[in-house]
């Protein structure tokens, strides 16, 4: 019996995945648990294993992006052929309802119908147009002739991004660059949009597609419901709102309201992938929280002496490891910092899992040290080294990236003392670590001496707690750093 092979949901925050490469060829025999392809999420790349044994029928090209639960192929038994025109399990259009107004319906599509959208080879014989499945699907839904579109993907392949400018020039007679999906066609919508629509009992086929994104988003569903409530008629779908920013997971493109480049640029790097995810999340973080930053100097003479002794004995943790250990114990002493703001209020989280920011060539990633409080310095140093290496080699597992309750970010290696780190939602605080430096100080006898110091920069959400508690938390970290022996003992279970 033919079994759908779907884009998996590999984490709580994953909404969609991009196929990086197939590890098998179309028609290969596969076994359950064998790695079939590599996908890229907004956090990392990971291999996807087969959900069954049989012959793989591939429907999605490398480079295409699909929502979790969308079909990307079939696993077939001997002698079986892939079903034709069968909708994907979770991406099938909702039951047909009243047709959209004529003015909002797209013209008859020039490319192949949605049922034959997916291609199975990067190069197609007979002069057929090379395009990703997502591009073909969007072109079919919008009535775009792919022969008029220049592809920027590998080998000139047309990608969904190449259709952005084309969608803005819809044929005459339409009410907006894109429109409500016609009944019976695939409805392009994010997983979050479908979840909200299901919750509110909305047929997504009646919701307009966001022009910048090319899909129905959570925001367009919410706008549709608000408009229907204002109307009190429910008679016609509304046009898509003008978005301030695109909403595709892991992708950010320039808003139409942004000014053009002041000069002809030497190059343009699209704001998508990891860079787009960082841009989106940092902007949302600053938009949604009341963030403030304080700075405090920590004396590190004791830490330097302890680390020198460990190095002489064989190996030693890094200076940031000492700070992470101290922060974990300070979180236990000040539980209001190990927290998250929810609809019910400020939730104090019992487990301490500290994330550490790792700089990569194309962005920043924050792997999480699970059970940070339960590790001594040796174990902590081993784990941070493993996570940093895995981050740089692209081999982090999704479990290495989830569950962080607090973050530590370091710029000391660049000669930075203090800075303003941005909170990683849904955390309520993040600690910035500056360089280790020599400061002048007076000893007990009044003589000038030098002392090793480091500036700690704490950014916190003022909605969660105030400045005085924030300062107390930071001062506790400084106090703990003065006693490295206490940091070497594993804390309570976390």
Query: CB–CB of 225/241 below 8 Å?
Result: no
* pTM confidence score: 0.56
Nearest of 394, 330, 341, 402 to residue 366 by alpha carbon: 402
| 19-40 average pLDDT score | 88
Quickly tell me which residue has 């890229």 as its tokens: 40
CA 313 to chain CA centroid, Å, is 41
**Sheet strands side by side (includes 45-49):** 45-49, 35-40, 16-22, 65-67
Residue 400 confidence (pLDDT) above 50? yes
440 or 130, higher pLDDT:
440
Per-residue confidence band for 467, with pLDDT thresholds at 50, 70 and 90:
very high
C-alpha Rg value of the chain to the nearest Å: 27
Residue 401 confidence (pLDDT) above 80? yes
Residue 183 confidence (pLDDT) above 70? no
**Does 277-487 match 3-76 at the fold level?**
no
Nearest of 58, 84, 89, 56 to residue 72 by alpha carbon: 58
118 or 312, higher pLDDT:
312
| DSSP conformation class of 272 | B
pLDDT in tens, 250-307: 444 444 467 888 888 888 877 766 677 777 778 888 888 999 999 999 999 999 999 9
| 414-434 average pLDDT score | 95
Of 27-36, 106-115, 132-141, 448-457, give the range with the top mean pLDDT.
448-457
Query: What pLDDT score does 163 carry?
Result: 72
Query: What pLDDT score does 180 carry?
Result: 55
Q: For the chain, give the mean pLDDT.
A: 78
CATH of domain 3-76: 2.40.50.100
Query: What pLDDT score does 363 carry?
Result: 79
Nearest of 98, 106, 88 to residue 176 by alpha carbon: 106
Enumerate the domain spans of the chain: 3-76, 102-116+160-231, 277-487
Q: Which CATH superfamily is domain 277-487 in?
A: Chloramphenicol acetyltransferase-like domain (3.30.559.10)
Per-residue confidence band for 458, with pLDDT thresholds at 50, 70 and 90:
very high
């Amino acid at each position: 019996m033919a079994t759908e092979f779907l884009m998996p949901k590999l984490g709580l925050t994953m909404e969609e995945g991009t196929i990086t490469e197939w590890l098998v060829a179309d028609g290969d025999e596969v076994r359950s648990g064998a790695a079939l392809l590599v996908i890229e999420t907004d956090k990392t790349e990971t291999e996807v294993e087969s959900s069954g044994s049989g012959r793989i029928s591939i429907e999605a090209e490398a480079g295409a992006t699909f929502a979790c639960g969308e079909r990307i192929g079939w696993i077939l038994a001997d002698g079986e052929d892939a079903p034709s025109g069968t909708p994907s399990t979770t991406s099938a259009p909702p039951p047909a309802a009243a047709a959209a107004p004529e003015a909002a319906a797209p013209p008859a599509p020039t490319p192949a119908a949605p049922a034959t959208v997916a291609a199975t080879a990067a190069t197609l014989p007979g002069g057929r147009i090379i395009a990703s499945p997502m591009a073909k699907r969007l072109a079919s839904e919008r009535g775009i002739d792919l022969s008029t579109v220049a592809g920027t993907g590998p080998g000139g392949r047309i990608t969904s991004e190449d259709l952005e400018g084309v969608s803005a020039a819809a044929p005459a007679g339409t009410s907006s660059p894109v429109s409500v999906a016609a009944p019976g066609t695939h409805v392009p919508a994010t997983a979050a949009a479908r979840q909200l629509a299901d919750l509110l009992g909305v047929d997504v086929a009646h919701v307009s597609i966001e022009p910048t994104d090319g899909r129905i988003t959570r925001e367009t569903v919410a706008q549709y419901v608000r408009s229907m409530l204002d109307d009190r008629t429910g008679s016609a779908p509304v046009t898509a709102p003008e978005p301030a920013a695109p909403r595709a997971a892991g992708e950010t493109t320039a808003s139409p309201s942004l000014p053009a480049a002041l000069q002809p640029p030497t190059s343009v790097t699209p704001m998508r992938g990891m860079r787009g995810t960082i841009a989106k999340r940092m902007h949302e973080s600053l938009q949604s929280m009341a963030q403030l930053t304080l700075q405090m100097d920590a004396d590190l003479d004791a830490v330097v002496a302890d680390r020198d002794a460990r190095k002489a004995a064989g190996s030693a943790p890094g200076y940031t490891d000492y700070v992470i250990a101290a922060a974990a114990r300070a979180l236990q002493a000040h539980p209001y910092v190990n927290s998250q703001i929810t609809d019910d209020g400020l939730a104090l989280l019992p487990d301490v899992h500290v994330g550490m920011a790792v700089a990569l060539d194309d962005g920043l990633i924050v792997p999480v040290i699970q059970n940070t409080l339960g590790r001594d310095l040796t174990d902590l140093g081993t784990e941070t080294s493993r996570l940093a290496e895995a981050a740089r080699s692209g081999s982090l597992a999704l479990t290495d990236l989830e569950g962080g309750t607090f973050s530590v970010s370091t710029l000391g290696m660049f000669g930075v003392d203090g800075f303003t780190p941005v909170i990683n939602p849904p955390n309520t605080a993040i600690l910035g670590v500056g360089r280790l430096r020599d400061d002048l100080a007076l000893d007990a006898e009044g003589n000038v001496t030098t002392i090793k110091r480091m500036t700690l920069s704490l950014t916190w959400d003022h909605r969660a707690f105030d400045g005085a508690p924030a300062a107390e938390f930071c001062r506790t970290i400084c106090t703990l750093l003065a006693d490295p022996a206490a940091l070497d003992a594993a804390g309570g279970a976390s």
